[in-house]
Amino acid sequence: MRIGIIGAGMMGLAVARRVALTGTAVLLADRSVARARRVAAEASAGAPGCVLATTMAAALRSEVVFLALRLPESLELARRQPHVLRGRAVVDLSVPERTDPVSSAVRQLVCIAPEARWVKALTTADAGALHRGATEGHPVDVFVASDDDRAKVVVVELFDRSGVRAFDAGGLDNAWILEGMGRLGQEVGERLGLSESWSFKFMPSW
């Protein structure tokens, strides 16, 4: 399976690193070719998989595409490329400033490109925690929501194999909750003046 990542910022680096650790091939695209090359080299260092800097068109042809972008950029891409996204599992990582159950970020994307297999994930940990894969000695927890069960299983299994813990978080109706958790984590981190990263931890009592 080939994974595409659009965006070579901190979250793009973190996702590329985790996927490379599974031995999977990653195609990374960014508006800055130099940044994509730099991040690809860092993400694949010592990993069994490889991360290759490539074009946007090539990354979008992957079986699973991660949008490591701000929401406005993801919306713009979906408007320009709805035919390319058709039938692909597309993972929205954005944490918008405001949302509600009706207009969560991923629901806005669904309206633009309804034939993509949309997934919401990776909003409940910051890029630093996800890159390391652990917080305070515990594996980072990843929550994955989608109305497409096959797409959701692919993403859950991918991150489980990368060394973090992935949970099925239900359908896209829960996306607004995951986005809200992301905003809460960001705000609490800012209020505490955290220099290190943060993540939410699910600790069931069996």
135 with 129: CB under 8 angstroms?
A: yes
How many domains would you assign to the chain? Answer: 1
Average of per-residue pLDDT across 156-181: 96
CATH code for position 146: 3.40.50.720
Q: Give the per-residue pLDDT at 199.
A: 94
Span 88-99, pLDDT tens digits:
999 999 998 876
Is residue 68 over pLDDT 90? yes
Q: Give the per-residue pLDDT at 114.
A: 96
Give domain status of residue 42, yes or no: yes
Confidence band, pLDDT 50/70/90 cuts, at residue 194: confident
Q: Tell me the two tokens of residue 81.
A: 């490329």
Q: Give the per-residue pLDDT at 1.
A: 86
pTM of the model: 0.95
Is residue 101 over pLDDT 70? no
Give domain status of residue 202, yes or no: no
Average of per-residue pLDDT across 12-40: 97
Scored b (16 or more CB within 10 A) or e, 148-165 reads: beebbebbbebbeebebb
Confidence band, pLDDT 50/70/90 cuts, at residue 197: confident
Give domain status of residue 203, yes or no: no
List the domain range (segments joined by +) for residue 133. Answer: 2-192
What span, in angstroms and rounded, lies between the C-alpha atoms of 200 and 173?
Answer: 20
Give domain status of residue 201, yes or no: no
Give domain status of residue 49, yes or no: yes
Least confident of 56-60, 68-72, 135-139: 135-139
Span 104-128, pLDDT tens digits:
899 999 999 999 999 999 999 999 9
Give domain status of residue 136, yes or no: yes
Give domain status of residue 204, yes or no: no
Give domain status of residue 198, yes or no: no
